[in-house]
Amino acid sequence: MSQGVKRGESLGAQVARVLRQRIVRGDLAPGDRLTEEGLAEEFEVSRGPVRDAITQLAFEKLIEVQKPRGIYIVGLTDDDVDQLYSLRSALEQLAMSRAMRVDDEDRWQAMVHSVDRMEAAAASGNHEAFAAADLDFHSQIYALADHPRLEGAWNQYLPTFTALLEVTINHDHDLTESSHDHVLLMNIMRGGDVGVAADVLAAHLDGARHRMMLELAARRAE
């Protein structure tokens, strides 16, 4: 398989991941046209996985299918980024308020492990490992919330936020500050101060939104 697509997980999900990365990075620009045939040939898969990928990316509003003309890149605008992060903030604030009710220490250990992984990745400058641990940290908030529908909504958009983080995190030469932010948020959550936790989470997500906005501005200036 080419372009980072490997046998094992869903081929459609893998094709979607590669295309999503290209769109978020700007390698595929708004208005660019794709075809099922061309994608199937490039990724060396049948049209079934390609259609699965197209369905997912259309749901994420990154592409638009115009039958019979083809598949067109929509890309990301400032408004798209605002919508994504405002949605995430609403979801995650609710998840966090529910997660903070959990007093079983064993259930917090997965988040503690995520923080440990972030600290190790920051110390070694491993951006890829840090991003994976960062996303796992936030996924643990939803897991602790005991709200399957809420967690399902997060999982629907998790691939998009993964691609966004992969773009912005590579501009962070020192990951230590971000690691400390996550430790602080976890400790406040475990301490039970809902108001303070809400403020810290809001600032954290707004910082992520701002970094993506700067990325888009830099891209337009090129």
In tens, the pLDDT along 7-27 reads: 557 899 999 999 999 999 889
Give me the percent of the chain exceeding a pLDDT of 90.
Answer: 81
The burial of 218, by beta-carbon neighbours within 10 Å (0-12 exposed, 13-18 middle, 19 or more buried), is given as exposed
Asked if residue 137 lies in contact with residue 111, where contact means CB atoms within 8 angstroms, the answer is yes
User: Is the peptide bond between 68 and the residue preceding it cis, with omega within 30 degrees of 0?
Assistant: yes
Q: What is the token pair recorded at 50?
A: 């390609």
The span from the CA of 188 to the CA of 185, in Å, is 5
What does the pLDDT read at residue 78?
92
Nearest of 118, 115, 142 to residue 128 by alpha carbon: 118
Alpha helices in the chain (DSSP H): 11-25, 36-43, 47-59, 78-99, 109-124, 127-144, 148-168, 176-191, 194-221
What does the pLDDT read at residue 2?
43
What does the pLDDT read at residue 117?
97
Q: Band of the pLDDT at 50, cuts 50, 70, 90?
A: very high
> 6 pLDDT exceeds 60?
no
Question: What's the rounded mean pLDDT across residues 30-45?
Answer: 94
The span from the CA of 89 to the CA of 20, in Å, is 22
136-174 confidence digits (pLDDT tens): 999 999 999 999 999 999 999 999 999 999 888 877 778
What does the pLDDT read at residue 1?
40
Q: Band of the pLDDT at 131, cuts 50, 70, 90?
A: very high
The span from the CA of 56 to the CA of 158, in Å, is 12
Whole-number mean pLDDT of the chain? 91
186-202 confidence digits (pLDDT tens): 999 999 889 999 999 99
Is the entire prediction scored with pTM above 0.85? yes
Q: At what angle do helices 47-59 and 11-25 cross, to 10 degrees?
A: 50
> 122 pLDDT exceeds 60?
yes
